[in-house]
Amino acid sequence: MSAADLTTPVPRVAMRRPSPRFLASELRLVLRRRRNMAGLVVLAAVPIFIAVAVKSTASQPGSDAPAFFQSITENGLFVSLAALTIELGLFLPLAVAAISGDAIAGEANLGTLRYLLTVPVARLRLLGIKYAAIVIFSFLATFLIAIVGMAIGLILFGGGDVTTLSGTQISFAAGLGRVALAAVYLSLALASLGAVGLFISTLTEQPIAATIATVVFSTASFILDSIPQVHWLHPYLLTHHWMSFGDLLRAPIAWDGVVHGLYLAASYGLVFFLAAWARFAGKDVTS
Amino acid sequence: MTLFARRPQLRWLVPLIAVAVLASAGSVAATITASARDPLPARSAAQLLVDVQNARVDGLSGTVVQSASLGLPALPGPSGDQSSNLSSLVSGSHTLRVWAAGPEQARIALLGQLGESDVVRNGSDVWIWSSRDNSARHLKIPADAGHSRADTPTPGQPTTPQQAADAALRAITPTTRVSTARTAEVAGRSAYELVLTPRDAATLVGQVRIAVDGATHIPTRVQVFARGAKKPAFEVGFTSFNPSTPSSSVFRFNPPPGAKVTQGMVGGADHSPAARPQDAGTKPQLVGEGWTTVVKATLPQSTEGSTGRRSGEHADGASPLGNLDAMVQKLPAVSGAWGSGHLLRGTLFSVLVTDDGHVVAGAVAPERLYAALAAK
């Protein structure tokens, strides 16, 4: 038990108004890191690459192309969706894993964690700030892809009415709203993976180990989800409903999968945040 | 918090309790709503059949989940457990959304991951849409062909629902025990169940349960159980059901720009994407009766020719039977006094394709198929 924990009772401190200053400094720390900026540039490069590749190829993408590729030539908005679909497999989870794996283990590895804890900040509140920064980063990464994809798509292919998966058309504004909804949904889904990463980050002092373990978690979840023999497990897998963001592009919207996905994301987020607290609050910080 | 300070290990109870609460939240909610419902009044099988025929709703919408664990080998070709391809319904689990308003408007959407296939009927227009292929097929229903087939009684057939129900029950009673239950719950609604149990123990089918919605009397679920199985081998039923007329915009379909549009007339083989292999051979022959009936047929000599013709008819390019031959060769080989062939052994039925071009199938164990072959 550390002195910080005993002198500042956790619940009372946790009730205190969240300090925007602490969160702002944490966000600045995350975003100013050269490696994180490079990661965001890679994320943003994918939609640009997709749009340029489709534009510069004479033949239209056929029915064996990845989802949404066929629609790109009709409407530039689909560059966002195609990029999100492709990056959801590895790039986005990897980005969130890098940030969340670094959250505690990174500080421990650099030796800054014990200094952080000497200031009178409750550990629950420290975890809360760390997690808030992860959630904000999830939104940032997802919306960066969506907005860059939309911008390059509109420049190269133009906009107009949006064709839903059901074959009916909705106005461009409505389509924009659907893409924004999809991005919010994916951000929340990735934020729940961030909670898993935060928990793993409290287990180790090696940030790279926490990051790899988090990517392994999401990838294993994808793999299990594709094995029909364990279909009883599928509804409980973190990634099972991720692709349900496509349901937001039907007419009318099919909410079932999205609602299940949000419930699952909230559950994973809560459980792993509590587990991170259980581990971190009672941990002897030596480095 | 002093407790946690003294016994830090106890903190781990908090996430564990959260897991327990979150995992049980769904089932608790279901139990509460289930116990709040009034029990349905008792109905006999005949009454239930009459109810079903008299059921008229102005419209409905809902989600249908179909799942099959027929024990089939993984089929080569279009696969994946949530494909939106219309020919992929034979294995795995699929979700469909359905809407209907009156007899003239209906829409079925097969949801795939990031894809969708739709069949939309609005008056005399039928559209078949596939987001995967970005294609729309437009069919016209001739004005006179609408519902004459189903609604005009032909002489000698039962004219009232009561007669029809009695005739149906009379026909199946020798082979089947019919009973009803009123404890089923489908899509969160109380439902009756019509339970059909084959009397013949030789069939692989253990029970067929047909759920009928308690309020609207629309059949809402069909389950087929293999003998001795606790879980259905085949199930199709509503997971959400709303008996109110959906908005008319749901049935409006205009092909989006850029889509491939083809035109056609209703009629011909367009409605049967899963044409059975027996169709193409000589006239099938039935051996046995009731649940243990075995269908015997001869395959056409040239499979190539027939599949080519069939895929032309379908005009969707991807014939599900295009690689029938390759599929058969992958099945386990069997042989006996009747000859040799390849056996497909499912949980509900068996199919045997002999090397000399015969096919026998039935809801029976393979031994019955061998016996049927030997009896020729």
- Residue A139: φ, ψ to 5°: -60, -45
A169 and B118: CB-CB below 8 Å?
A: no
Return the pLDDT at B4: 78
pLDDT at B189 over 90: no
What's the rounded Cα separation, in Å, for the pair B197 and B54? 25
Residue at B86 is within a domain:
yes
What ipTM goes with this model?
Answer: 0.79
Highest mean pLDDT pick, A99-108, B137-146, B314-323? A99-108
**Nearest in space to A29 (alpha carbons), one of A146, A118, A132:** A132
Residue at B151 is within a domain:
no
Domain that includes residue B18, residue range: 2-35
Return the pLDDT at A16: 52
Return the pLDDT at A40: 95
B254 and A169: CB-CB below 8 Å?
A: yes
Contact B362, B349 (CB under 8 A): yes
Q: Does A85 touch chain B (CB under 8 A)?
A: yes
Closest CB to A169: pick one of B14, B109, B256: B256
Q: Describe the crossing of helices B45-54 and B161-172 by its angle, rounded to 10 degrees.
A: 130
Give the residue-averaged pLDDT of B313-322: 44
pLDDT (tens digit per residue) in A93-111: 999 999 999 999 998 888 8
pLDDT at B219 over 60: yes
What's the rounded Cα separation, in Å, for the pair B376 and B372? 7
Residues B135, B30: one domain? no
Residue of B nearest to A242 (CA): B113
| CB under 8 A, 24+ apart: contacts of A109-116 | A109/A205, A109/A206, A109/A207, A109/A287, A111/A287, A113/A285, A113/A287, A114/A285, A114/A286, A114/A287
Contact B193, B184 (CB under 8 A): yes
Q: Does A68 touch chain B (CB under 8 A)?
A: yes
List, in sequence order, every beta strand (DSSP E) within A53-123: none
Q: For residue A273, what pLDDT band results from cuts at 50, 70 and 90?
A: very high
Return the pLDDT at B307: 41
Residues B296, B343: one domain? yes
- Residue B147: φ, ψ to 5°: -125, 20
In eight-state DSSP terms, residue B269 is G
Return the pLDDT at B349: 86
Higher pLDDT, A149 or B9: A149
DSSP string, B289-317: -GGG-EEEEE--S-HHHHHHHHHHHH-SS
Return the pLDDT at A95: 96
Return the pLDDT at A283: 78
Q: Which of B192, B222, B251 is the last residue of a domain?
A: B251
What's the rounded Cα separation, in Å, for the pair A113 and A105? 9
| Token output for B225 | 């159980």
Buried b (16+ CB within 10 A) or exposed e, A186-217: bbbbbbbbbbbbbbbbbbbbbbebbbbbbbeb
Q: For residue B274, what pLDDT band results from cuts at 50, 70 and 90?
A: very low
Return the pLDDT at B134: 86
Q: Does A6 touch chain B (CB under 8 A)?
A: yes
Residues B30, B50: one domain? no
What's the rounded Cα separation, in Å, for the pair A89 and B176? 51
Q: Which of B251, B284, B312 is the last residue of a domain?
A: B251
Residues B281, B338: one domain? yes
Q: For residue B155, what pLDDT band results from cuts at 50, 70 and 90?
A: low
Give the residue-averaged pLDDT of B297-302: 70
pLDDT (tens digit per residue) in A208-265: 999 999 999 999 999 998 887 787 888 899 999 999 999 999 988 999 889 999 999 9
Q: For residue A282, what pLDDT band results from cuts at 50, 70 and 90?
A: confident
Q: For residue A44, what pLDDT band results from cuts at 50, 70 and 90?
A: very high
Pairing outcome for strands B260-265 and B135-140: parallel
pLDDT at A128 over 70: yes
Give the residue-averaged pLDDT of B308-319: 40
Higher pLDDT, B360 or A217: A217
Pairing outcome for strands A169-170 and B125-130: unpaired
- Residue A40: φ, ψ to 5°: -65, -35
Q: Does A275 touch chain B (CB under 8 A)?
A: yes
**Residues of A with Cβ-Cβ distance to B111 under 8 angstroms:** 247, 250, 254
Residues B325, B368: one domain? yes
**Residues of A with Cβ-Cβ distance to B63 under 8 angstroms:** 254, 256
Return the pLDDT at A245: 94
| Token output for B72 | 């089939």
Return the pLDDT at A218: 95
Which helix H or strand E contains B374, and what residues bound it?
helix B366-374
Return the pLDDT at A174: 94
Percent of chain A with pLDDT over 90: 62
Residues B84, B49: one domain? yes
Higher pLDDT, B205 or B308: B205
**Residues of A with Cβ-Cβ distance to B86 under 8 angstroms:** none
pLDDT at A12 over 50: no
* Mean pLDDT score across all residues of chain B: 78
Q: For residue B269, what pLDDT band results from cuts at 50, 70 and 90?
A: very low
List, in sequence order, every beta strand (DSSP E) within chain A: 162-163, 169-170
A257, HSE (Cβ side, Cα atoms, 13 Å): 29
Give the residue-averaged pLDDT of B198-219: 89
Q: For residue B276, what pLDDT band results from cuts at 50, 70 and 90?
A: very low
> Residue B68 in 3-state DSSP?
strand
List, in sequence order, every beta strand (DSSP E) within A133-273: 162-163, 169-170
Closest CB to A274: pick one of B8, B15, B258: B15
> Residue A6 in 3-state DSSP?
helix
Structural domain total, chain B = 3
Provide the residue type at A60 as one letter.
Q
| Token output for A264 | 């699952």
Return the pLDDT at A115: 81
Q: Does A120 touch chain B (CB under 8 A)?
A: no
Contact B48, B219 (CB under 8 A): no
pLDDT at A122 over 50: yes
Which helix H or strand E contains B11, and what residues bound it?
none
Any residues with CB less than 8 A from the CB of A40 and at least 6 apart, and which?
A: A95, A140, A141, A144
CATH label of the domain that carries residue B121: 2.50.20.10
**Nearest in space to B275 (alpha carbons), one of B305, B307, B227:** B307
Residue at B228 is within a domain:
yes
Which helix H or strand E contains A193, and what residues bound it?
helix A172-203
What's the rounded Cα separation, in Å, for the pair A170 and A43? 28
Any residues with CB less than 8 A from the CB of B305 and at least 6 apart, and which?
A: none
Give the residue-averaged pLDDT of B292-319: 56
pLDDT (tens digit per residue) in A56-67: 886 777 767 777
Provide the residue type at A86 as one letter.
I
Residue at B49 is within a domain:
yes
Q: Does A87 touch chain B (CB under 8 A)?
A: no
pLDDT at B317 over 70: no
Return the pLDDT at A204: 92
B129 and A282: CB-CB below 8 Å?
A: no
**Residues of B with Cβ-Cβ distance to A256 under 8 angstroms:** 63, 239-240
Count CB pairs under 8 A between chains A and B. Answer: 100
pLDDT at B303 over 50: no
Q: For residue B87, what pLDDT band results from cuts at 50, 70 and 90?
A: very low
DSSP string, B153-176: PPTTS--SHHHHHHHHHHHHTTTE
Residues B227, B311: one domain? no
Q: For residue A118, what pLDDT band results from cuts at 50, 70 and 90?
A: confident
**Nearest in space to A159 (alpha carbons), one of A142, A143, A175, A146:** A175
Contact B93, B112 (CB under 8 A): no
Residue boundaries of the structural domains of chain A: 19-281
Residues B59, B200: one domain? yes
Work out the minimum CA distance from A127 to partner chain B, whole angstroms: 15
Residues B368, B238: one domain? no
Residues B186, B283: one domain? no
Higher pLDDT, A286 or B45: B45
Residue at B201 is within a domain:
yes
Percent of chain B with pLDDT over 70: 74
pLDDT (tens digit per residue) in B68-85: 877 766 554 433 444 455
> Which A-chain residues 212-231 have CB contacts (< 8 A) with chain B?
228, 231
Residue at B105 is within a domain:
yes
Any residues with CB less than 8 A from the CB of B311 and at least 6 apart, and which?
A: B317, B318, B319, B322
Q: For residue B285, what pLDDT band results from cuts at 50, 70 and 90?
A: confident
pLDDT at A35 over 80: yes
B258 and A271: CB-CB below 8 Å?
A: no
Q: For residue A87, what pLDDT band results from cuts at 50, 70 and 90?
A: very high
Q: For residue B311, what pLDDT band results from cuts at 50, 70 and 90?
A: very low
Residues B72, B25: one domain? no
Any residues with CB less than 8 A from the CB of B56 and at least 6 apart, and which?
A: none
From residue B113, how far is each of A61, A246, B208 by CA, in Å? 18, 7, 30
Return the pLDDT at A11: 45
Residues B28, B70: one domain? no
What's the rounded Cα separation, in Å, for the pair B17 and B20? 5
pLDDT at B34 over 80: no
What's the rounded Cα separation, in Å, for the pair B300 and A72? 44
Percent of chain B with pLDDT over 90: 14
